[in-house]
């Protein structure tokens, strides 16, 4: 299912209400930076402290998301979560760029009536270059050509 940033406004609002530090990364961040391409889920990076992880999971559970694994977040790199509407969120606990750096350089971007905390263009392109998958390299090329 192709999604747009507004598909996840309830999640952005829940994170705001529960003061969850997070940063949108990957395909949704590409869209929010202005390069249009299909996106099928929301990828976020959350802080690594247990309290912040618990708040993130609580906010996601209130939004109807259930994890695919029943393992503590600190033992994972990423947790995939789904809701009844078949929306998907990948929650990264460990990422290519340290969370503190992502957070300090992130942008607040308006999404409908909500605000999303989005990875900086510099960090987005760096993470995609590190991953080096063909679609990530296409994203880097598209961001360079189409985003001013």
Of 3, 46, 24, 48, nearest in space to 115 by CA: 24
Percent of the chain with pLDDT over 70: 99
27-49 confidence digits (pLDDT tens): 999 999 999 999 999 999 999 88
pLDDT at 73: 79
pLDDT at 148: 63
Residue 21 predicted with pLDDT over 70: yes
Could you give the 3-state DSSP secondary structure of residue 100?
helix
Q: Are 147 and 121 in contact (CB under 8 A)?
A: yes
Give the predicted TM-score (pTM) of the model: 0.94
């Amino acid at each position: 299912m192709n999604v747009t940033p507004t598909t996840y406004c309830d999640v952005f609002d829940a994170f705001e209400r529960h003061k969850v530090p997070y940063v949108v990364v990957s395909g949704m961040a590409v869209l929010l930076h202005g390069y249009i391409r299909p996106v099928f889920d929301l990828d976020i990076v959350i802080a690594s402290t247990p309290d912040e992880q618990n708040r993130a999971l609580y906010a996601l559970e209130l939004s109807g998301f259930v994890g695919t694994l029943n393992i503590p977040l600190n033992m994972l790199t990423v947790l995939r979560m789904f809701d009844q509407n078949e929306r998907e969120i990948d929650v990264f606990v460990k990422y290519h760029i340290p969370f503190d750096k992502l957070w300090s350089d992130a942008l607040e971007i308006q999404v409908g009536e909500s605000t999303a905390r989005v990875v900086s263009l510099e960090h987005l392109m760096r993470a995609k270059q590190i991953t080096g998958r063909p679609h990530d390299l296409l994203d880097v090329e598209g961001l360079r050509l189409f985003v001013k």
